[in-house]
Amino acid sequence: MASTVGDIIASKTGSIIELYKNVRARTMQIVAPLEIEDYVIQTAEFMSPPRWHIGHTSWFFETLLQAYQPGYKVYSEDYLFYFNSYYEGFGERIARSERGTKSRPTVKQTVVYREHINEQMLSFLESVPNQAEAGTILTLVRLGLEHEMQHQELLVYDIKHLLCDQYDAPLLPAPTPSVNVEGMAEIGGGLFWLGYESQVQSPKSKVQSPSNYDFAFDNEKPAHQVFLQDYALDRALVSNGDYLEFIRDGGYQNFRWWFSEGWEVVNREQWRAPLYWELHDEQWMIRDFSGLHAVEDRANEPLSHVSFYEALAFAKWIGKRLPTEAEWEKAAAFDPQTREPRAFPWGNDPSTKTKANLFENGIWAPASIGAFPAGQNSYGCQQMIGDVWEWTTSDYVPYPGFKSEFDEYNDKWFVNQKVLRGGSYATPQIHIRSTYRNFFHAHERWMVSGLRCAKDL
């Protein structure tokens, strides 16, 4: 029986209500172990107090209510000021670096605000099938939920910076590695369809989009052809053990490996190791959510918390380079047997706990190299999705033909940032896909960032 547009909207509305409840609840699960004092402290300019995240993600939905719910009354002008992040179009806001200078609204008030927005949103969502702009509203609600998932990942970074092993994370054990991951995959060049629509609309592809693959940000579109030379890509991520060799070889003391800007930062900030590495009795240790560990005991785990500069320096030291984002995406998405792109390295099935180390795995750390053989790509590259975001050498710029779908969300950041791919242990499962483009400044390293190297053939 053919469905009417009304049926489709009603079923989409039903599933978005479920998604809304699940995503909103997870934010509160992440902050649940915090004590009240933890919610308001800002430990660095680049992080935000947890209270701000729980209010800001609600503020995002309040902007939607203001636009689409007739007669909606703003909850508080003060909250609009404090919880706006960077949106010029939504009025004045507190400077990012000052989010930790205010104790009001209190945590309790922020939670009440959050509950108020939830009530309003849930009754608003029930009315969506009767709204003339139902399609637009559903798209914006989904954007709000993807936005919230981005903030869930940021919450993990920020709580790590704030508390690290003092945070009582509900840790689950990581799987042990079951395979050795060695060598480089050799990948043929030629024309490649880069970007989200390659999976669903490319004239080269007949692949149907999988059911969980129904959203992408505007910055992943449109699909377009790029030309690649033949290249090789490491099957494994760079490990802590690999990076310890670089440090022991005097990597941070040798200008030869660094680009000028990176060398300046190394000297100015006195960097001697990745963030969260500590020197105890001449032994490098890594502090994470589970405590302090000798690097040797974590030698087979993917390296994380390095800047773009450190990733570049390591790649140069080892005689390789970083991949471009197109090289990364081809390895992650392209099936050389069928010559079709896929949603994930393993195919079109959704992410599961055995395919990739993502937020739902509950490990709160990268898992050992070789722990997720079920997630490998067609070329034997492992852990491309999950564990750590991978720096690429590509500038974060719009794809040719880019059209902004939401002002100030992605479109105003297309300058001076680098693209990272693949997601991390802090990324929710439904939030990641092979075409996802994350971006950070070259010096940033409080996020879960690592690398895998490439080489010309």
Number of Cβ within a 10 Å radius of residue 176: 10
CB burial readout 63-99, b (16+ within 10 A) else e? bbbeebbeeeeebeeebbebbbbeeeebeebeeeeeb
Angle at 33 between CA 31 and CA 39, to 5 degrees: 50
Least distance (Å) from Fe ion to the CB of residue 110?
Answer: 15
> Crossing angle of helices 308-317/260-269, nearest 10°?
110
Say if CB 416 and CB 283 are below 8 A apart. no
Stretch that binds Fe ion, among 33-41, 83-91, 302-310, 359-367 (CB under 5 A): 83-91
Instruction: Indicate the residue among 143 and 275 with the shorter CB distance to Fe ion.
Output: 143
Contact characters 142-181, Fe ion, x per CB under 5 A: ----------------------------------------
Instruction: Indicate the residue among 151 and 342 with the shorter CB distance to Fe ion.
Output: 151
Least distance (Å) from Fe ion to the CB of residue 292?
Answer: 32
Instruction: Indicate the residue among 158 and 242 with the shorter CB distance to Fe ion.
Output: 158
Contact characters 32-71, Fe ion, x per CB under 5 A: ----------------------------------------
Instruction: Indicate the residue among 44 and 292 with the shorter CB distance to Fe ion.
Output: 44
Question: 103 is written with which tokens?
Answer: 């104790």
Distances (CA, A) of 360 to 121, 175, 237, 355, 424: 25, 14, 21, 12, 11
Examine residue 410 and tell whether it contacts Fe ion (CB under 5 A): no
Instruction: Indicate the residue among 219 and 378 with the shorter CB distance to Fe ion.
Output: 219
Least distance (Å) from Fe ion to the CB of residue 217?
Answer: 13
Stretch that binds Fe ion, among 85-93, 205-213, 314-322, 359-367 (CB under 5 A): 85-93
Looking at this protein, which amino acid is placed at residue 114? R
Examine residue 85 and tell whether it contacts Fe ion (CB under 5 A): yes
DSSP state of 210: P
Instruction: Indicate the residue among 348 and 410 with the shorter CB distance to Fe ion.
Output: 410
Stretch that binds Fe ion, among 77-85, 89-97, 387-395, 415-423 (CB under 5 A): 77-85
Least distance (Å) from Fe ion to the CB of residue 438?
Answer: 14
Number of Cβ within a 10 Å radius of residue 167: 16
Instruction: Indicate the residue among 148 and 220 with the shorter CB distance to Fe ion.
Output: 148
H-run or E-run covering 265: helix 260-269
Instruction: Indicate the residue among 67 and 171 with the shorter CB distance to Fe ion.
Output: 67
Least distance (Å) from Fe ion to the CB of residue 150?
Answer: 7
Stretch that binds Fe ion, among 6-14, 82-90, 103-111, 344-352 (CB under 5 A): 82-90
Query: What stretches of 92-239 show up as alpha helix (H) in DSSP?
Result: 107-127, 134-162
Least distance (Å) from Fe ion to the CB of residue 52?
Answer: 10
Least distance (Å) from Fe ion to the CB of residue 82?
Answer: 13
Stretch that binds Fe ion, among 20-28, 80-88, 183-191, 402-410 (CB under 5 A): 80-88
Separation between Cα atoms, residue 209 and residue 206, nearest integer Å:
9
Separation between Cα atoms, residue 253 and residue 273, nearest integer Å:
11
Separation between Cα atoms, residue 86 and residue 268, nearest integer Å:
28
DSSP state of 302: B
Distances (CA, A) of 90 to 2, 93, 274, 390: 42, 9, 37, 33
Separation between Cα atoms, residue 144 and residue 142, nearest integer Å:
5
What residue ranges bind Fe ion (CB under 5 A)?
85
